[in-house]
Amino acid sequence: MTETTRIDFRTGLHALRSAQKPARGTAAYSRHVNRPAGRLVAAWMNSLGLTPNQATVVSALLSGAGIAVLALVDPTWWSGVLVAVLLAAGYVMDSVDGQLARLRGGGSKAGEWLDHTIDCFKTLGLHLAVAVCWFRFFDLPSDGWLLVPLGFTLVAAATYFGLILMPTLRPPAAPVDPASLPAEHPVRRFLILPTDYGLQCWVFVLLGWEAGFRVAWTLVLAACAAMLALALVKWWRELRALDSGTR
């Protein structure tokens, strides 16, 4: 397919079902909710002739709107639901751009740059908006609570940087048949669920309940920090092995 390929919804949906990225290593929400939703939207957008970059822009607008509401509106139950819906919808569209690109035979370097750049702004902007929200609107027991969203910003930045950098440091590998790999433990996708951006979006439904949201966000931070620590050790060992010529 080419960049201008436009096919009907059913044909596009069928093509996407056989052109998915491997699910291995993906957390439960992204695997079972976000990707299937993105597949439906991608097939529909392709039937209208829309492009991956247009999907990326829609994702940015939805996520940006959610972040703006979080930082600017006094938290209530309805604003929390609105933030969650906007962020989750933006996350669906973040899946759509890649699926549209695969449906059209591959993406572009400019499109990949746009996607990663917006993801970076979104990731850091969300946690900074939480800090702004807590500072402006929450009756915090102490100012020390502000270290939670600020610390989450650091964890999110380091995680994102590592995930982007590591594939560029690994040597090119021959294609591997996923069926030949050891079976993934069925519980793993749920154990890493707190690190799933999609789940984090829905934590904001608690925004109107200040104490509940503070505790929930702190627990999510703790889980993400623990997973980052494990990943850093793994990445370091992997790169040291590559440096020494052994794997």
Total structural domains in the chain?
Answer: 1
Alpha-carbon gap, residue 37 to 92, rounded angstroms:
7
DSSP reduced 3-state for 19 = coil
Indicate the helix (H) or strand (E) that contains 101.
Answer: helix 77-103
Query: Stretch 6-20: mean pLDDT, rounded?
Result: 74
pLDDT tens by residue, 128-154: 999 999 999 999 999 999 999 999 999
Q: Given a cut of 90, is residue 16 above it in pLDDT?
A: no
Chain mean position to CA 153:
14
Q: Given a cut of 60, is residue 179 above it in pLDDT?
A: no
Q: Given a cut of 70, is residue 47 above it in pLDDT?
A: yes
Any domain includes 55: yes
Q: Given a cut of 80, is residue 8 above it in pLDDT?
A: no
Q: Does pTM top 0.85 for this prediction?
A: yes
Any domain includes 22: no
What pLDDT was estimated at residue 238?
A: 92
CATH of the domain at 41: 1.20.120.1760
Q: Band the pLDDT of 102: cuts 50, 70, 90.
A: confident
DSSP reduced 3-state for 65 = helix
Q: Given a cut of 80, is residue 5 above it in pLDDT?
A: no
For the record, the structure tokens of 161 come out as 């940087």
- Greater model confidence, 197 or 107: 197
Alpha-carbon gap, residue 125 to 72, rounded angstroms:
13
Any domain includes 184: no
Percent of the chain with pLDDT over 70: 87
Domain that holds residue 123: 9-13+28-166+190-244
